[in-house]
Structure 1
Amino acid sequence: MGFFKMFLTLISLVVTCGSTVFALVAAPEVKYSTHHIQEVANGLKVTIFHPESTYETFGRGIDHPLTKRAGSTIEDSTVSFIESHLKINSSTIKYRVGYSAETARHAYVNQDGIPFTNAVANVAFNHDNKVVAFGSSFVTPKNIAPSKATVTLEAAITTAEKALGGTFNQHPAKIEYLVREDGSVVLTHVVQIQNEAVGIWYQAFVDAHTGDLASIVDFVAHASYFALPITKQAPPQGFQVVTNPQDLIASPFGWHSNGNMSTINSGNNAVSFRNGIISTSGESSPGLNFIYPAQLTASPTIDANVDAARVNAFYVGNVLHDLSYRYGFTEAAFNFQFNNSGKGGLEIDPVLFSVQDPSGQNEGSDGLMMTPPDGQSPRVLLFLWTFTSPFRDSALENDIITHEYTHGITGRMTGGGTGQCLQTIEARALGEGWSDAVAEWTEHASSAVPDYVFASYGFNNAAGIRNHPYSTSTTVNPLRYSSIKTLNLVDIHDIGEVWANILHNLYASLVFTSGWSSTAFTNPDGVEGNNMFLHLLIDALALQPCNPTFVSARDAFIQADINRYSGINRCLLWEIFATRGLGVGAANFVDSSVIPSGC
């Protein structure tokens, strides 16, 4: 498929505005691990429920009923294990997708024949065919609605469009069951609603019998974010001409081809544009040269600066594709590519970078990431910072772009490519923490681990946009697990800082203990601390349950070390978690400093 056809395919994502009429009824109690408060059109607030997840890790692994049966498939092994472990009938287990990674095989299932969209499970097997991790939000349902809809799809779409202030984007609708907080199960039409003018992208669940809006999933992850090399944070550190940066193992087509060559900033992994997907930057001179020096003392909207923004976003997006690919975010693991070359996963979903996006201008915001399911292109909206004159462009601040792209990685890998397993307050906060941590990872140029300040350039503030620098010092950053009790329930960034600071401390300890590799971007095989950290972070995403908590995210991180490194970092990891309150027995935001026996 040529690039013109590719553009036509991707343009289908563009939608128009709609209107708003109502919102969901808020639940009486809000829990971080099962709920999320979402503000939708006209300022109305929605409380969304997800069944509570259980999560178990099994170290070196446990047997399942088909462990010793030669030739058993991952689907058969998964269904057999869940049937045995939960003592339920196999007819209530619907295998959805699975894949094999370096350290484990991963399987994702839904409950029942018609999938329960928010009753899901995931199983990880090591390569000895033993189960090493199991997460489940399966429920014992009551009052299950009839399986044949009585409300038409057309009526459901109208309901969703009016409620959410957007338009149905023509992505194929589905019928799925949805578990309510009272244990009842409703049949729903599942449709996607977008409105690019205001930066929304929802999956709406409309009751197929009553016509009421039953729930939503928000695919948007908000954040407060010649080329600037990926190891540099912001323009004051200096732009450079970067030559041949593509990693041909991760991007065998290069960055400007999906099998057909392009001479614009568009390729298999990413497209960057302003004011419409075909508004890209071409070569500044023949030979795929994109040399557009930014004029930082001029308005960001002049032609030269628009080109500079598009080129930098394209460069950073492709570097992050190649980096995350090397560490496990591949085609089979639901990554972002137009052409997957038969390596698994769904295609036609490169990341779309909209620079100087008007939907957030003059709001003091920096960017957001929309992460739909595998096979649909995510969108990164990068805004102008309005705190200075001239304005500053978040497309020229690499930590912002990296933060947003990481939302896509975590959104896709958690839960098996659905884009809907980081929805509770706690899970969304974890997402903010992972995004800050990966942004920091890319900027380390030596084994030194100084305090890290996020997004200082756009805000024009040396302290950045977080409440504390990320630090190993409890004086500089006092945040710990129990701090979540006192933080703003609605501001997931505040809660996410707790996780990001824990990750900062884990990184520092791994580097102190195991050293630092200068080739970690392109050589994931090193056993230095920075290699280990990124492997563990990404491995854990596939292991953890849908809508993880801080505790289950911790457990997945530790299990990832057992899978990949035979647990050599077990005690080190536990000591760091415990130092910040996430020791053995930590729960409900009550600290524990306990580490396991043997450490």
Structure 2
Amino acid sequence: MAFSKMFTTLLTTILLSAVLNLVEAAPWPQTVKLGTHRERIIGRGLKVTAYHPSSNFKAFGAEGEAIPTTAANGSSLGFADDAVAWRSGFTDGTTANAYLRQQHDGVPFANAVCNMAIQDGKVVSWGNSLIDVESASIAPSTPSLKWAEVLPSVENQLDAQKNEQDPTLEYFNADGAFYEAYVDAHTGDLVSVTDFVAHAQYTVLPITKVDFREGLEVVTDPQDLEASPLGWHTLQQGGAEQTTTSGNNVVAFRGQSLVAQSAAGLVFNSRYNDNQQPNTQANIQAAVTNAFFVINSLHDVTYRYGFTEEAFNFQVNNLGNGGQARDRVEISVQDASGTNNANFATPPDGQPGQCRMFIWTLTNPNRDGTMENDIIIHEFTHGVTNRLTGGGTGRCLQTTEAGGLGEGWGDAMADWFAQTSADTRDFAVGGYVTNNANGIRSAPYSTNAQTNPLTFASLRNLREVHQIGEVWANILHNVYAGLVEEKGFSADKLTNPDGPEGNIVYMRLFIASLAVQPCNPTFVQARDAWIQADQNLFNGANRCTLFKAFASRGLGLRASSRALQDNADIPADC
């Protein structure tokens, strides 16, 4: 495609200007490891500490760097001509986003990514976690083992079974040593894990309501045909409309059977009763209906704001609009694999997103997490952020710090849906299932530092991704409030992404910044991506408002991901 060919002229420029990452000698300071490592306990008590090379990120603001008219020979820089190759890309308005991959001897590096944003023939931002292949010993590109030989051991360690996806051969930069795959193709060792850990009538919780306590409503034909031209119950143009909780964007079901719930016609009117246990027949049906409704609503709203087929969203049929198809969200209600939690697995574009919602046992009767919209929204947002960061791979929020950002985005998205006026209210996640005003976080998100004292410097004492996420979500709550105070509030936020109001501008920047930022971003890089996204979308009109809001919570102009100290500086012209 012409879009990808254009970027071949950029490769030499990017490689020349890139500061390629050399792994620092151990021991790593704990705060530094937040941005490069992630420790997980998986399977049968297996502890895996995965390493991801730190990302560099540069935003050029309004100036940009001109695209060269001719491409130099890449080998003159010490790189083979095929050292970097096109992976994916899409356009968002006037901004073109491109994602490249590094390779050696025809084998790609799993955790070496380069991304660029282009406007008006100029590179306006780029990030990379490219690897200095000249300074390291690289294993042979032909494996010593066949994948089938190590599969039984890996399945045993992960307490899991291989799915229908065929294994791929890739190099993996593992804290200074290079391996050819997440399972080393020479030794059979497991070296890393990518945790890939949304006239019909519905009786549901409207998407702007937080939880069951705000009341069920009957809604009719809520689908947004601009985002879902097939509607919510059809898989192809001219196809039959299914009278089940199954369609192009999502299939909702109870447990692990993947059997959608049927209804008479398209009327899904079971009413949830939280004076009874979640597993009554009526409550099961009501919960499945709400899951179907909320994921479809999220698909349509995020589609309007830029999470489209070519930007790696979740759909069975992409209607010729780019991206990989056959990957709608599969949401399991009252899943038996856990309690008091929920999760969302985001494999690469082209494989279904998998959301599992659990029953919460902290009250009597128990409560169903599916009847709390903010939990579903949080989980779906993992799909959005994992797909948009890094170009659809699902691999680029894997460090502790980046994983924390992912948790924060989930809460921040739920916060955005819950705000219904220009008066920005404090927001808590999980208040219904816990029957606690603070919900499942340490404090509500607030513009009041006494209500929520978290700042950028709080990261110095935090190691767990949800705790780290609270810092980012609280910062974004203040960014949202600043934009709404400056530019007002629109009640049409769900269907009009082109309005000038602050809440609309916020969501435009939320989505656009994900495509701009590098793989495994830090807090500082994520902030810079918001600033650059504002330049790309609005010619920098909100730059000072954004910087003031970030600085109010310690993420000022001179904040450092190494020092993790609060900084309140803003640009001199602000």
Name the aligned partner's letter for residue 235 of structure 1.
Answer: F
Matches within 5 A, 1:362-381: 365-381=340-356
The range that moved more, 170-179 or 422-431, is 170-179
Matched residue, 1:237: 214
Deviation at 1:155, TM superposition (A): 1.4
Matched residue, 2:146: 152
Distance 2:454 2:307 in 1: 30
Distance 1:103 1:227 in 2: 38
Q: Give the SS at the match of 1:426.
A: helix
Deviation at 1:212, TM superposition (A): 1.1
Matched residue, 1:45: 47
- In structure 2, the CA distance between the partners of 1:549 and 1:163, relative to structure 1 (3 Å rule), is same
Distance 1:355 1:278 in 2: 10
Matched residue, 1:58: 60
Matched residue, 2:205: 228
Alpha carbons 2:480, 2:506 under 8 Å: kept? yes
Name the aligned partner's letter for residue 118 of structure 1.
Answer: N
Matched residue, 1:115: 108
Q: Give the SS at the match of 2:267.
A: coil
**1:92-123 alpha-carbon deviations (Å, 9 max, x no partner):** 11211111121411111111231111111111
**1:115-157 alpha-carbon deviations (Å, 9 max, x no partner):** 111111111101x121011100011131111111110010132
The range that moved more, 257-266 or 310-319, is 257-266
Matches within 5 A, 1:376-525: 376-487=351-462, 489=463, 491-525=464-498
**1:364-409 alpha-carbon deviations (Å, 9 max, x no partner):** x221111100000011100001011111000111000000000100
Distance 1:173 1:345 in 2: 21
Alpha carbons 2:419, 2:425 under 8 Å: kept? no
**1:56-98 alpha-carbon deviations (Å, 9 max, x no partner):** 00112433443x57xxxxxxxxxx5996998745421121111
Distance 2:502 2:37 in 1: 35
Pick from 288, 305, 311 the counterpart of residue 327 of structure 1. Answer: 305
Matches within 5 A, 1:59-74: 59-66=61-68, 68=69
Deviation at 1:275, TM superposition (A): 2.6
Q: Give the SS at the match of 2:268.
A: coil
Deviation at 1:558, TM superposition (A): 0.5
Return the TM-score normalized by structure 1. 0.86
Deviation at 1:462, TM superposition (A): 1.7
Distance 2:295 2:59 in 1: 33
Once superposed, what is the RMSD of the aligned Cα atoms? Answer: 1.7
Name the aligned partner's letter for residue 98 of structure 1.
Answer: G
Deviation at 1:451, TM superposition (A): 1.1
Pick from 501, 507, 525 the counterpart of residue 552 of structure 1. Answer: 525
Distance 1:309 1:249 in 2: 26
Q: Give the SS at the match of 1:59.
A: coil
* 2:133 is aligned with 1:133: no
Alpha carbons 1:422, 1:546 under 8 Å: kept? yes
Pick from 274, 294, 314 the counterpart of residue 254 of structure 2. Answer: 274
Matched residue, 2:551: 578
Return the TM-score normalized by structure 2. 0.90
Distance 1:246 1:291 in 2: 17
Alpha carbons 2:44, 2:157 under 8 Å: kept? no
Matched residue, 2:170: 176
Distance 1:321 1:291 in 2: 22
Q: Give the SS at the match of 1:247.
A: coil
Q: Give the SS at the match of 2:292.
A: helix
- In structure 2, the CA distance between the partners of 1:90 and 1:583, relative to structure 1 (3 Å rule), is farther
Q: Which runs of 4+ in 1 moved over 4 A?
A: 80-89
Q: Give the SS at the match of 2:311.
A: coil
**1:492-542 alpha-carbon deviations (Å, 9 max, x no partner):** 111111100010000001001100011110011101001000000100000
Alpha carbons 1:159, 1:213 under 8 Å: kept? no
**1:530-573 alpha-carbon deviations (Å, 9 max, x no partner):** 10000001000000000000000000000000000110111111
* 2:284 is aligned with 1:291: no
| Unmatched 5+ stretches in structure 1 | 1-26, 70-79, 189-204, 221-225
Matches within 5 A, 1:196-235: 205-220=182-197, 226-235=203-212
Deviation at 1:483, TM superposition (A): 0.6
* 2:174 is aligned with 1:186: no
Matched residue, 1:167: 161
Distance 1:248 1:37 in 2: 43
Distance 1:87 1:247 in 2: 51
Distance 1:217 1:28 in 2: 23
Matched residue, 1:223: none
Distance 1:84 1:415 in 2: 26
Alpha carbons 1:454, 1:464 under 8 Å: kept? yes
Deviation at 1:209, TM superposition (A): 1.0
- In structure 2, the CA distance between the partners of 1:175 and 1:518, relative to structure 1 (3 Å rule), is same
The range that moved more, 49-58 or 33-42, is 33-42
Pick from 558, 566, 584 the counterpart of residue 539 of structure 2. Answer: 566
Q: Give the SS at the match of 2:290.
A: helix
Alpha carbons 2:90, 2:98 under 8 Å: kept? yes
Deviation at 1:236, TM superposition (A): 1.1
| Aligned residue pairs, count | 532
Name the aligned partner's letter for residue 155 of structure 1.
Answer: E
**1:311-357 alpha-carbon deviations (Å, 9 max, x no partner):** 00000000000000000000000000000011000011100010000
- In structure 2, the CA distance between the partners of 1:162 and 1:573, relative to structure 1 (3 Å rule), is same
The range that moved more, 512-521 or 100-109, is 100-109
Q: Percent of counterpart pairs with the same letter?
A: 47
Distance 1:523 1:229 in 2: 17
Distance 2:534 2:169 in 1: 38
Q: Give the SS at the match of 1:120.
A: strand
Matched residue, 1:91: 82
**1:16-48 alpha-carbon deviations (Å, 9 max, x no partner):** xxxxxxxxxxx8545001000111123232111
* 2:244 is aligned with 1:264: yes
Distance 1:154 1:452 in 2: 49
Name the aligned partner's letter for residue 151 of structure 2.
Answer: I
Distance 1:156 1:461 in 2: 47
Name the aligned partner's letter for residue 152 of structure 1.
Answer: K
Q: Give the SS at the match of 1:508.
A: helix
- In structure 2, the CA distance between the partners of 1:302 and 1:568, relative to structure 1 (3 Å rule), is same
- In structure 2, the CA distance between the partners of 1:564 and 1:65, relative to structure 1 (3 Å rule), is closer
Name the aligned partner's letter for residue 48 of structure 1.
Answer: A
Matched residue, 1:202: none
Name the aligned partner's letter for residue 112 of structure 2.
Answer: A
Distance 2:341 2:79 in 1: 47
Matched residue, 2:288: 310
Alpha carbons 1:159, 1:212 under 8 Å: kept? no
Distance 1:439 1:84 in 2: 48
Alpha carbons 1:107, 1:124 under 8 Å: kept? yes
Distance 1:326 1:242 in 2: 20
Distance 1:109 1:93 in 2: 7
**1:220-277 alpha-carbon deviations (Å, 9 max, x no partner):** 1xxxxx1011111111110000111100000000000111321100000001001334
Distance 2:291 2:497 in 1: 24
**1:567-598 alpha-carbon deviations (Å, 9 max, x no partner):** 01111111111111111221121221111121
